Amino acid sequence: MRDLRICFVGDSYINGSGDEQCLGWIGRLCQARFDRQFRLTFYDLGIRGATTDEIRDRWRHECASRFPDGADNRVVLQFGINDVAEIAGSGRRVEEDASVANAEAIVREAAAHYPTIWVGVPPANVACSPMRPSAGLEINFRQETAMALNRRYMSLAAEIGVPYLDIHSPLLASPHYMHSLTLGDHMHCDGTGYAMMADLVDRWDAWASWFEDA
């Protein structure tokens, strides 16, 4: 029986923060693909607030500790939205060029060791910006910076040869998704938004092909 292990690596959107059903998009995605004919194990390696600086430092060890020899081990990546966050009085958390450099290091290494796919940057939640996640901390998001990073990531993925799914464009164009950003925890979308994200990924050929020989 095929032993399929998938590490989902990233930030709060991997984690599903704000979802009242506590499934996020990765829980819904794997639920749709569950089959008794093979063993599917997925690991949520999303950390709320994590930037690419932090993900670059931790992802390899966290995946390696969950991937046994002989299993069909694979990686799904999503990150970047925290990089574009602007902290009042401090500026952007990770500048664009540094974010792209971090992404290149992560994606190249992941793809060298495991089948890897990359899900793009979600739309920024400008409707709830500025955000105040804790006392004395104010964070602002601008859609233009998220869009710019998504474009850079898309070009980088094409250069490396790793499948990249642009979710930013269709979700930004969806009034339903943009409304869902006001219904979660006022930082992330609610469950309806995560369901839309999961549907986009599930219909993606790069993801679906992982299950063709299951």
Cis peptide before 130 (omega within 30 of 0): yes
| CATH label of the domain that carries residue 66 | 3.40.50.1110
Indicate whether 213 belongs to any domain: no
Name the amino acid, one letter, at 17: S
| Residue 212, domain member (yes or no) | no
Residue 211 lies in a domain: no
CA distances from 126 to 22, 168, 187 (A): 23, 14, 9
Q: Which two tokens stand for residue 71?
A: 């299993």
Quote the number of domains for the chain: 1
Under 8 Å between Cβ of 8 and 177: no
Per-residue pLDDT of the chain (214 residues; tens, 9 = 90+): 899 999 999 999 999 999 999 999 999 999 999 887 889 999 999 999 999 999 999 999 999 999 999 999 999 999 999 999 999 999 999 999 999 999 999 999 999 999 999 999 999 999 999 999 888 889 999 999 999 999 999 999 999 999 999 999 999 999 999 999 999 999 999 999 999 999 999 999 999 999 986 5
Domain that holds residue 129: 3-206
Residue 214 in any domain: the answer is: no
